[in-house]
C-alpha cells in the first residue's frame, strides 16, 4: 500500500518540488499534503501547480493539536521537513515516531541548532574555514538537529568560496540525495 507523505516547508520549496517530481509516478508513496507556516511561502504555488492540497497553519494549530489532527485527516504516514523553520511539537513527534525526517545544510553535529538554517549555516562554515561541508538527512526529535543521522553527503569547499557558492553546492547535494533517501525510508 502506498504511503502518504506530507512535506513541511516555510519558503521557496525547491526541495519540495524535487520530492514531488520524484514521487509523481511512484508505486511506494504519494505527496498528499504540503504544510507551511507562512501564507506567502512560494511552496504554496508549487503545491497548486501539482494539484496537491496545502495547509497554512498558525502557531495555535501546533499547540492545540490541530496540526496532528490534520495529519490524521489526510492519513499521513511520513513527514518530510524541507526548509521548514519551526520547531516540531512533541505531540507531532510522538504521533509519528521515526516518521519525520529533516535535511540540514551542513555535516551535523557541526553547525546545527537554533538559528542555524540557510545562509546562517553557510556563513558559519566559511567563517570556521572548513574544508568540506554537505548535507545531513536525519530523524527529527525534540531538539533542533539532534535526531539520529540517516545519511550524510559531503562536498569540498574551494579556497575563497563565498557563502553563496557554498549554498549552491549544498543545494545540488540536497536535490540529488534527499528524495532518494525518502524513497528508501518509506519503502521499509
Residues annotated catalytic, as ranges: 104
What is the DSSP-derived secondary structure letter of residue 177? H
Q: What phi and psi values does residue 46 have, to the nearest 5 degrees? A: -65, -40
Q: What is the 3-state secondary structure (H, E, C) of 119-169?
A: HHHHHHHHHCCCCEEEEEEEECCCCCCCCCEEEEEEEECCCCCCHHHHHHH
Q: Alpha helices of 56-103 — where are they, by DSSP H?
A: 59-63, 66-73, 90-95
Residue matched to cell numbers 553546492: 169
- Distance in angstroms (rounded) separating the CA atoms of residues 147 and 142: 8
Instruction: State the CB neighbour count (10 A cutoff) for residue 171.
Output: 15
Amino acid at each position: 500500500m502506498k504511503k502518504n507523505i506530507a512535506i513541511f516547508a516555510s519558503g521557496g520549496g525547491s526541495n519540495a518540488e524535487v520530492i514531488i517530481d520524484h514521487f509523481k509516478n511512484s508505486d511506494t508513496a504519494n505527496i498528499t499534503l504540503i504544510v507551511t507556516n507562512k501564507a506567502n511561502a512560494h511552496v504554496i504555488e508549487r503545491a497548486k501547480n501539482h494539484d496537491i492540497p496545502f495547509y497554512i497553519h498558525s502557531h495555535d494549530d501546533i499547540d492545540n493539536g490541530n496540526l496532528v489532527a490534520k495529519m490524521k485527516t489526510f492519513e499521513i504516514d511520513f513527514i518530510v521537513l524541507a526548509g521548514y523553520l519551526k520547531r516540531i511539537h512533541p505531540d507531532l513527534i510522538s504521533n509519528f515516531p521515526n516518521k519525520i525526517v529533516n535535511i540540514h545544510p551542513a555535516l551535523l553535529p557541526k553547525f546545527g541548532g537554533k538559528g542555524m538554517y540557510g545562509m546562517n549555516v553557510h556563513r558559519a562554515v566559511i567563517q570556521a574555514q572548513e574544508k568540506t561541508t554537505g548535507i545531513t538527512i536525519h530523524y527529527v526529535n525534540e531538539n533542533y538537529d539532534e535526531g539520529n543521522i540517516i545519511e550524510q553527503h559531503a562536498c569540498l569547499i574551494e579556497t575563497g568560496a563565498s557563502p553563496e557558492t557554498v549554498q549552491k553546492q549544498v543545494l545540488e547535494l540536497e536535490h540529488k540525495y534527499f528524495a532518494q533517501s525518502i524513497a528508501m525510508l518509506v519503502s521499509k
